[in-house]
Amino acid sequence: MNILILGSGGREHALAWAVLQNPKCDKLIVAPGNAGIAQIAQCATLDIENGGSVVTFAEENAIDFVIIGPEAPLAAGVADRLRDAGILVFGPSARAANLEASKSFTKEICAAAGAPTAAYGHFTDAEAARAHVRANGAPIVVKADGLAAGKGVIVAMTEDEAIAAIDDMFGGAFGGAGAEVVIEEFMEGEEASFFVLCDGETVLPIGTAQDHKRVGEGDTGPNTGGMGAYSPAPVLTDDIAQKALDEIVRPTMAEMARRGMPYQGVLYAGLMIKDGQPRLVEYNVRFGDPECQVLMMRLGAQAMDLMHAAAEGRLGDAQVTWADDHAMTVVLAAKGYPGRYEKGSVIGGLDGLPETSSAMCFHAGTAERDGKIVATGGRVLNVTARGESLSQARARAYEMADRIEWPDGFYRRDIGWRALD
C-alpha cells in the first residue's frame, strides 16, 4: 500500500514510525514533514489545507491511503475532497470535524445525545454574555466558539476575568473564532484523554493518556500545546472508561450518524473525572500531540491496520492487542516557548540516541541545515519511551533527553508526577 500522511509535527513522526513497521506499507510520503521524518520517509512540499492540491498529489503519486494528522485540513474539507475522488482516507468530513471546530455544535450534539458535560450558554452578543456571567458567578469558563489553536479557552477564577475574556473575544482577539462565545460551568476533577477509532458506526477504544498542558513544573505557568504525556492514564480505570464509552462517546457517534454526518477517524475525548464519573470537556477530531507519540509507541504496527479498518468501515472485525506496558514522552521546547523564542539554534547529541520499538526521539519543529538539525518551532523534540512500568518508561525517556545537547532548549523534569507520586 502507498501511504500519504499529512502534517509536520511529533504526532506525524510517530504515525510515520508506526506505519513503517507494518509490512503492508510499500511506500510512505509525509507532507510537509520535518527533519526527523525525512530520516525515515520521503517528505514532500504540499499545501495540505487545499483539498484540490492534495487530491492531485495523491493521484500523481499513486497513493492508496491518506492519513490526516492535524485538524486544520479536516476542518477545511480535505477528507471530503479525497473521498469524492475515490481515495481512501482516515479522518472525518468537514461537517463531522465540527466536533472540534465548533464548541456550540458539540454542546448541542451532547445535549441531544444526553452526554454528561458542563452546563453552558451560547452567545453572539457581548452584553448577553456578560449578563450570563453576572448571573452565574465565577469560577466560570469562557470559550471562543471556533478553532483558536488551543488558545480560545479562558478558565476565569473571577467575574472580572470572565468579563475581560468576553470583551477580548467580541473585540476580535481571536478573529472569526471569537465572534461567537460559549460560556460553561467550571468543572472540577482530574483530566484525562480517551482515544477511540470510529468507522461511522463501530467505536473501538485504542487507549488512554494524560498530558501536561502548562509550561512549568508542578503544572504552573501559561498553557502550551502539551509538554509531555503518558499512557495509560491511571485515573481512567476500566470502569470509568466503560462509562465514558457508554454515556458519552457511543451516544455522540450515534447522534452524528442520525444527523447524516457519520464520524470516521480518531476521536479524542477530553474528560473531567470526579467521584468515578466522567464528563466531557471537549472533543478533538485528531490524535493529540504529544499523546499520539505514546499511543503509537504502545500500538506499534497494528496502528496502521486499525486506521485502515476505520477508513474501510471494518472496525466491527478489528481488535486491539495490548501489551501490559506504559509509555511516556517528554517535550523539548525552545527557551521562551510558549511566548517568543528564537529559531535556528543547532541541536546536537541526536545521532547516538536509541531508535528501537521501545525508544524514539520524535521530531516536531526541526529542519536540516548544512547537515545539522536546527530548531524551527516552539515544541521541537519528543523523547518517547516504553517500559514495563511508568517509572521505567520515564527513566528511559529522561535518559534520552539528558543526552541531547541543546543549550537553547528546555524540558520539564516532572512529566508523569500525578501518576507516579
Of the candidates 377, 366, 369, 374, the residue with the CA atom closest to the CA atom of residue 336: 377
The half-sphere exposure of 326 on its side-chain side, counting CA atoms within 13 A, is 20
Of the listed pieces 43-51, 111-119, 282-290, 349-357, which binds ligand GLY according to CB under 6 A? 282-290
List the single partner that 191 binds among ligand GLY, ligand AMP, none, CB under 5 to 8 Å by kind. Answer: ligand AMP
Q: Does 207 bind ligand GLY (CB under 6 A)?
A: no
Footprint (CB under 6 A) of ligand AMP, residues 170-229: 184-187, 191
Interacting partner of 225 out of ligand GLY, ligand AMP, none (Cβ under 5 to 8 A depending on kind): ligand GLY
Rounded least distance, CB 16 to ligand GLY, Å = 17
Is 288 an interacting residue with respect to ligand GLY (CB under 6 A)? yes
Q: Which is nearer to ligand AMP, 219 or 312 (CB)?
A: 219
291 binds ligand GLY (CB under 6 A): yes
Instruction: Based on the shown chain and the rule CB under 6 A, indicate whether residue 7 belongs to the binding site for ligand GLY.
Output: no
Q: Applying CB under 6 A, does 387 fall inside the site for ligand GLY?
A: no
Q: In angstroms, what is the minimal distance from the CB of 195 to ligand GLY?
A: 11
Q: Is position 289 an interface residue for ligand GLY (rule: CB under 6 A)?
A: yes
Interface pick for ligand GLY out of 226, 251, 265, 377 (rule CB under 6 A): 226
Q: Binding residues for ligand AMP, per CB under 6 A?
A: 118, 141, 153, 155, 184-187, 191, 270, 281-282
Q: Binding residues for ligand GLY, per CB under 6 A?
A: 211, 225-226, 284, 288-289, 291
